[in-house]
Amino acid sequence: MLNNPRCRSGTLILCRAICPIINYFRGNQMCDSSELQELLDQLFTGPACSWCGDHGRKLYGKKVMLCSSCRNIKALVRKWAENANANPFGADELAIAKRMEKMAKDESARFGHLNKRQIDGVDLEHAFNEVARIAIHQELPYNDANVFEQCFTLAQRRFLFYLLSRIIHIYERRHRKITAAYASD
């Protein structure tokens, strides 16, 4: 990576800082992008939740297979749809539950099929800032899309994005109700 002619002095310090990550990617088990791509393909093989697209969770149902989180949301939507008029907060609860359903389904578009998507430097810049906001409640002081674009192969960018997406996905799943409660349609 450091021999990359596009990796000029302005980005050299950061390139050195992330060298351990590159070494991990180029370790004995993962010496080239094709092996990393194979790993990614494996991670996205097999059944996924029909709503959030998560491949890593136990699935329930026959026709529509859902993870436990999405299954709970589906039950919530049904519950409040049936009781919306019987409870003074029924209409609000139904709106929140429907927002949660939409948020779960949106995650499939954001994080699904990462093994085949064109992940560019801007995608990674946004994902790192999102994780930083979750962890330290602010954006990273240095986060350059060009470095990701120039110093990482497509398979490495996909893998990095996948790792970050797991953190974001779990965080959003845990905070979905509160986010939906304060959101508006």
Interface stretch with Zn ion, choices 17-25, 69-77, 80-88, 138-146 (CB under 5 A): 69-77
Which positions from 130 through 159 interact with Zn ion, judged by CB under 5 A?
A: none
Q: Cβ closer to Zn ion: 49 or 96?
A: 49
Is 40 in contact with 155 (CB distance < 8 Å)? yes
CB of 105 to Zn ion, least distance (A): 9
CB of 158 to Zn ion, least distance (A): 21
Quote the Cα angle for 94-95-96, to 5°. Answer: 90
Q: Cβ closer to Zn ion: 70 or 124?
A: 70
Binding to Zn ion by residue 70, rule CB under 5 A?
yes
Structure tokens that stand for 135 in this block? 């962890």
Which positions from 47 through 66 interact with Zn ion, judged by CB under 5 A?
A: 49, 51-52
SS3 120: coil
SS3 8: coil
Task: Name residues whose C-beta falls within 8 Å of residue 45's C-beta, 6 or more positions apart in sequence.
Answer: 55
**Rounded CA gap, 45 and 47, in Å?**
7
Q: Cβ closer to Zn ion: 65 or 131?
A: 65
Give the interface with Zn ion as residue ranges (CB under 5 A): 49, 51-52, 67, 70
